Amino acid sequence: MFNRISSSWALVKASAAVLRADKELLIFPIVSFIGVLLVTISFAIPTFMAGILDGVGSLEEFPIAGYVIAFLYYLAQYFVIFFANTALVGATMIRLKGGDPTVSDGFRIAMKHSRSIFGYALISATIGMILRVLSERSGVVGQIAVSLIGLGWNLATFLVVPGLVIEECGPIEAVKRSTELLKKTWGEQVVGNFAVGTIFGLLTFGVILLMLPVLFLAFSTESFVLIALTIGVGIIAVATLSLLNAALSGIYAAALYQYAAEGTTSSYFETPLLVNAFRRK
């Protein structure tokens, strides 16, 4: 376990070195966050005003319109996220190959692949809705099975966005390519050593644990200003970690794809780190 954490930390540091070289890469996850927030607001307000979600207490009472809106929400949300991720990966690939990318370079690459991004968002939204319906109609065991299917989908599509950028293939081909590269390079049965997510998950958990006693002390003072300040600091800390996680995850995925597809690495990543990124079960 400690070896895995050590390797994960090494990959985080390598990804962070790329981010230090191009700090503007952080703009893409910020745009993604703002975009998802705007999409959520644009769907939530008219939905509640129209009363479409009234009586959602049971599945039978849930109107068909609710499922349609949920699907469209998934579609819009995924498109925003994948668009920003594509821009991030595109700019990262320029850096990994020795260039000096700009924010406009990233968005230009994303615009170039907008059709494929929409297609992938459509596929993901469809899968998401199917899994949601199955989960709602299942018991505890069924929900666990659905969760495992979702985990498998996330693993199989881990390299889809880099595939859209590097090989310029369509969404279906990108999903197939992602699965093939994972099988070819890291074995039929793989357990993802999701380095960036692991490290930032631990960091976020640590921040939450640290904030709990601080928040307790703030409430004990009964000072509204101190309570608000404490909550604000906690939210900012978690949001910052989330943005860094998103940026470094995109950089990490781009480096993995470069190694898996081309067998090459950049000066930022040592080959053994990428070789051990996924291990046999």
pLDDT of 35 higher than 50: yes
What average pLDDT does range 124-152 have in this prediction? 85
pTM confidence score: 0.81
Burial class of residue 78 in the structure, from the number of CB atoms within 10 Å of its CB (0-12 exposed, 13-18 middle, 19+ buried): buried
pLDDT of 175 higher than 80: yes
Whole-angstrom distance, CA of residue 79 vs CA of residue 51: 26
Contact call for residues 230 and 215 (beta carbons, < 8 A): yes
Residue 15: name the closest of 281, 202, 277 by CA.
277
Whole-angstrom distance, CA of residue 187 vs CA of residue 230: 46
Which has more confidence, 54 or 204?
Answer: 204
Which has more confidence, 270 or 116?
Answer: 116
Predicted confidence at residue 189, as pLDDT, reads 37
Contact call for residues 206 and 191 (beta carbons, < 8 A): no
Handedness of CA 273, 275, 278, 281 (dihedral sign): negative
What is the Cβ-side half-sphere exposure of residue 278, based on CA atoms within 13 angstroms? 23
Predicted confidence at residue 56, as pLDDT, reads 45
Whole-angstrom distance, CA of residue 16 vs CA of residue 32: 19
Predicted confidence at residue 193, as pLDDT, reads 45
Angle of CA points 38, 27, 106, to nearest 5°? 105
Map out the domains of the chain as residue ranges. Answer: 2-280
Label residue 280 by pLDDT band (50, 70, 90).
Answer: very low
Any alpha helices (H) in 25-170, and if so which ranges?
A: 27-50, 64-96, 103-112, 114-136, 140-156, 160-166
3-state helix/strand/coil string of 166-188: HCCCCHHHHHHHHHHHHHHHHCC
Predicted confidence at residue 82, as pLDDT, reads 95
Predicted confidence at residue 194, as pLDDT, reads 54
Lowest mean pLDDT segment, chosen from 121-130, 170-179, 196-205, 244-253: 196-205
Average pLDDT, the chain: 82
Residue 260: name the closest of 280, 281, 275, 272 by CA.
275
Q: Residue 280: in which H helix or E strand, if any?
A: strand 278-280
What average pLDDT does range 249-255 have in this prediction? 88
What average pLDDT does range 191-207 have in this prediction? 72
C-alpha distances in Å from residue 49, one per residue of 54, 63, 132, 265: 10, 15, 24, 52
Label residue 106 by pLDDT band (50, 70, 90).
Answer: very high
Whole-angstrom distance, CA of residue 155 vs CA of residue 168: 20
Could you read off the pLDDT of 77-105 as tens digits, one per residue?
Answer: 999 999 999 999 999 999 988 889 999 99
Lowest mean pLDDT segment, chosen from 104-113, 190-199, 240-249: 190-199
What average pLDDT does range 217-230 have in this prediction? 86
Lowest mean pLDDT segment, chosen from 92-96, 137-141, 246-250: 137-141
